[in-house]
Amino acid sequence: MQRHSLKRGRPALACAAAALFSAGAWAAPDYPTQPIRLIVPFAPGGGTDMIARVVGKKLGERLGQPVIVDNRPGASGIIGAEAVARSAPDGYTLLMATTAISSNGSLYNTISYDLKKDFAPVSQLANAPAVLVVNPGLPVASLQELIRYARERPGQVNYASYGVGTAPHLVAELFQQSSGTKLYHVPYKGGGPAVLATLSGETRLLFPSLVPVMNHIRNGKLRALAVASDKRSPSLPDVPTFREAGMEFETGTWFGIVARGGTPAPIVARLHKEIVALLNDADVRKSISDEGAEVVPSATPEAFGKLIQAEAERWAKVVRTAGIRIEK
């Protein structure tokens, strides 16, 4: 009887020993021992890139290894995300993720990665609320005036976006579904051309995050009607929230870091700890705030994962209602 019990216990003991050895190996305090790549799935110079460089520099200092920003733009962030999904799950390749990683799954027919399986959430970094900006030539001075103006002219008031399926497009679709308006979509190839089109009056309005239009609002070249956050932006204290302007509407672009799915939990925990610490640095907070974003570290990697999934469900509903589909 005793011999039988011992025999049955050997596989369990072996598995436990292997698991202990594996955990001990991955929990080794020498991570990282080489440079880390932080893939930014958008072009240099934009808000995502600037936040990534601020965070990457500080993260490298805290980890004792350089964090190299690697821009992989294309297909609304899919190219960069695919590069991380194909990388080794060792903590040496990270993705600067944005809201796009949550919305792309419902927009594109063929994506080679699985949002749940191929990425390990580490932490949210910041949130940049969407803002409704109009060309000053549009004869409206408030959100309610715009809604009335657009309802009286269905399909005649145009708006710019960074391209089909990009955040400003999806936010505009959500706005139309929420306000009972019908706008005319003019997609551009990127944020720069869309902002320029709205500045020139070629298009009448835009739903970007605060990051790329902050200076244009401050110098009066664009008129901000409302910010889609729960409270006024410290950067634009005179601009009301949508709720203050009479409409329940909160949305924007979040920024965060994810690793390859399967990255050992101790490495994810170390990255999360260092990111939360660096986000408490006054200089980092100021740099991110200057870009029009608010620092929002995640309490745990799991909390960030729940945000990513909740956003995926939210935008899938918007995409279905609007009938948007993109062939990659």
Query: Which CATH number characterizes residue 168's domain?
Result: 3.40.190.10
Q: Mean per-residue pLDDT for 41-70?
A: 94
User: What pLDDT digit, counting tens, does each position of 245-280 carry?
Assistant: 999 999 999 999 999 999 999 999 999 999 999 999
**Above 90 in pLDDT, residue 29?**
no
Q: Report how far residue 276's alpha carbon sits from residue 299's, in angstroms, rounded to the nearest whole number.
A: 8
**Above 90 in pLDDT, residue 208?**
yes
Examine residue 157 and state whether it is found in any structural domain, yes or no: yes
pLDDT of residue 299: 98
Q: Mean per-residue pLDDT for 320-326?
A: 92
Examine residue 21 and state whether it is found in any structural domain, yes or no: no
What pTM was estimated for this model as a whole?
A: 0.84
**Above 60 in pLDDT, residue 147?**
yes
**Above 90 in pLDDT, residue 28?**
no
CATH of the domain at 279: 3.40.190.150
Reported as a pLDDT band with limits 50, 70 and 90, residue 9 is very low
- How many domains, the chain? 2
**Same domain, yes or no: 92 and 44:** yes
**Above 70 in pLDDT, residue 84?**
yes
b/e string for 179-205 if b means 16 or more Cβ within 10 A?
Answer: bebebebbbbeebeebbebbbeeebbb
**Same domain, yes or no: 117 and 77:** yes
**Above 80 in pLDDT, residue 12?**
no
User: Which has the higher per-residue pLDDT, 213 or 109?
Assistant: 213
**Same domain, yes or no: 135 and 223:** yes
**Same domain, yes or no: 163 and 123:** no
**Above 50 in pLDDT, residue 16?**
no
Q: Which amino acid is at 51?
A: I
Reported as a pLDDT band with limits 50, 70 and 90, residue 328 is low
Domain that holds residue 123: 36-128+252-322
pLDDT of residue 248: 94
**Same domain, yes or no: 114 and 259:** yes
According to the 3-state scheme, what is the secondary structure of the chain? CHHHHHHHHHHHHHHHHHHHHHHHHHCCCCCCCCCEEEEECCCCCCHHHHHHHHHHHHHHHHHCCCEEEEECCCHHHHHHHHHHHCCCCCCCEEEEEECHHHHHHHHECCCCCCCCCCEEEEEEEEEEEEEEEECCCCCCCCHHHHHHHHHHCCCCCEEEECCCCCHHHHHHHHHHHHHCCCCEEEECCCHHHHHHHHHHCCCCEECCECCCCHHHHHCCCCEEEEECCCCCCCCCCCCCECCCCCCCCCCEEEEEEEEECCCCHHHHHHHHHHHHHHCCCHHHHHHHHHCCCEECCCCCHHHHHHHHHHHHHHHHHHHHHHCCCECC
**Above 50 in pLDDT, residue 201?**
yes
**Same domain, yes or no: 57 and 93:** yes
User: What pLDDT digit, counting tens, does each position of 111-139 carry?
Assistant: 999 999 999 999 999 999 999 999 999 99
Reported as a pLDDT band with limits 50, 70 and 90, residue 76 is confident
**Above 90 in pLDDT, residue 19?**
no
Q: Report how far residue 322's alpha carbon sits from residue 103's, in angstroms, rounded to the nearest whole number.
A: 13
What is the rounded average pLDDT for all residues in the chain? 90
Q: Mean per-residue pLDDT for 35-57?
A: 93
User: Which has the higher per-residue pLDDT, 44 or 10?
Assistant: 44
Examine residue 197 and state whether it is found in any structural domain, yes or no: yes
User: Which has the higher per-residue pLDDT, 304 or 74?
Assistant: 304
Lookup: tokens for 231: 């409270």
Q: Report how far residue 124's alpha carbon sits from residue 96's, in angstroms, rounded to the nearest whole number.
A: 10
Query: In Å, how far are 46, 53, 62, 67, 126 from 284, measured between CA atoms?
Result: 17, 10, 13, 16, 11
The whole-angstrom distance between residue 193's C-alpha and the CA centroid of its chain comes to 21
**Same domain, yes or no: 85 and 57:** yes
Reported as a pLDDT band with limits 50, 70 and 90, residue 217 is very high
Reported as a pLDDT band with limits 50, 70 and 90, residue 45 is confident
Examine residue 149 and state whether it is found in any structural domain, yes or no: yes
Examine residue 275 and state whether it is found in any structural domain, yes or no: yes
**Same domain, yes or no: 148 and 120:** no
Q: Report how far residue 39's alpha carbon sits from residue 62's, in angstroms, rounded to the nearest whole number.
A: 19
Examine residue 89 and state whether it is found in any structural domain, yes or no: yes
Examine residue 1 and state whether it is found in any structural domain, yes or no: no
Q: Report how far residue 136's alpha carbon sits from residue 22's, in angstroms, rounded to the nearest whole number.
A: 61
**Same domain, yes or no: 117 and 201:** no
pLDDT of residue 17: 44
CB-CB contact of 27 with 267 (8 Å): no
**Same domain, yes or no: 123 and 139:** no
Examine residue 240 and state whether it is found in any structural domain, yes or no: no
User: Which has the higher per-residue pLDDT, 7 or 61?
Assistant: 61
Q: Mean per-residue pLDDT for 6-30?
A: 46
Last residue of a domain, one of 227, 261, 289: 227
**Same domain, yes or no: 143 and 291:** no
**Above 50 in pLDDT, residue 20?**
no
Q: 323, exposed or middle or buried, with CB in 10 Å at 0-12, 13-18, 19+?
A: exposed
Q: Report how far residue 88's alpha carbon sits from residue 192's, in angstroms, rounded to the nearest whole number.
A: 34
**Same domain, yes or no: 136 and 223:** yes
